[in-house]
Structure 1
Amino acid sequence: MAIKSHKLGPGFLKFGETASLQEFGSQCTAVKLEPSVDEEDNIPVLSGEELEGDETESYMLTGSFLQDYGGMTSLLVWCKTNAGKVLPFEFTPSTAGGLTIKGSVKIRAVAIGGDVKTRNTTDFEFKGIGDWVPSAVPAG
């Protein structure tokens, strides 16, 4: 099998419904969808057998974006305004790669500020709600 590898970007990260999409891609310096599995211990029974423990899958959508202090349209303000809301997202790691990921996340407020005379970034970590679905990006 031939080696395949892509760089992250150019792509996009969008939140919200079609009529009110918020684009993060132009500010993001890192984006990652991180699945995880929480496994419960097996339960031993008298016969010597074990009842297999439950597994719960979850995910986080994480990353960093450049801070913008330019007013009420900044992503910093958008995160605070939408904190606690569950919104759909669409993450395309690379428009050349052909993959997009859709799901829903709970938005959280993010840190504001940092080092003086520096282009500060802020990290975001949005908890996945429900499942995420990979799909092909339509050609064209």
Structure 2
Amino acid sequence: MTILSHKLGPGSLTFGEVASEQEFAAQLRSCSLTPDTEEEDPIDVLSGEQIDGDETYTYTIGGSILDGYTMESLAVWAHQNKGTVMPFEFIPNADITGAMKWTGQAKIRPIAHGGDVKSRNENDFEFKIIGDPTPAAVA
């Protein structure tokens, strides 16, 4: 099998409906779509066998953003939209042949703001994905 490895970027991360979406890419230092699996314990039966426990899959989309200290900052946008479920589109690298994207619905949460004095601060964010994200080819 051929080794398959690409760099993250140039790409995009947007939240919201087309024509009114919020673009995160210009402020992003890192970005990832992260799965989490919760697995219940197996169930023992008299015969000595086991039934596998149920598994539940959840996802988040998040990363690290550079702080901006204007009313157009991502932290202000996230505060104003906290609790809102919005569509998202994450394109990890738009420049590769066969580029892919992830789409879905994410619940917006507030983002920390600030940090060290006289520094270019960045803060992590994480938005819960509602349901499963969908991979697709970039058109």
Instruction: State the SS of the aligned residue for 1:94.
Output: coil
Instruction: State the SS of the aligned residue for 1:132.
Output: strand
Counterparts of 1:113 and 1:36 in 2: how far apart (Å)? 29
Residue in structure 1 matched with residue 94 of structure 2 by the alignment: 95
Amino acid in the other structure paired with 1:2:
T
Over the matched positions of the two proteins, sequence identity in percent amounts to 55
Give structure 1 regions of 4+ aligned residues with deviation exceeding 3 angstroms. Answer: none
Residue in structure 1 matched with residue 41 of structure 2 by the alignment: 41
The count of aligned residue pairs is: 137
Amino acid in the other structure paired with 1:6:
H
Deviation at 1:57, TM superposition (A): 0.7
Residue by residue over 1:69-96, the C-alpha shift from the partner in whole angstroms, topping out at 9 and shown as x without a partner, is 02x2211100101111111100000111
Show structure 2 runs of 5+ residues with no match.
Answer: none
User: What is the correspondence of 1:85-124 to structure 2 with a 5 Å cutoff?
Assistant: 85-97=84-96, 98-124=99-125
1:15 is the counterpart of 2:2: no
Deviation at 1:107, TM superposition (A): 0.8
TM-score calculated relative to the size of structure 2: 0.94
Counterparts of 2:4 and 2:47 in 1: how far apart (Å)? 50
Deviation at 1:45, TM superposition (A): 2.0
Deviation at 1:37, TM superposition (A): 1.0
Residue by residue over 1:13-52, the C-alpha shift from the partner in whole angstroms, topping out at 9 and shown as x without a partner, is 0001113200000110000001121100011122322222
Counterparts of 2:78 and 2:34 in 1: how far apart (Å)? 20
Show structure 1 runs of 5+ residues with no match.
Answer: none
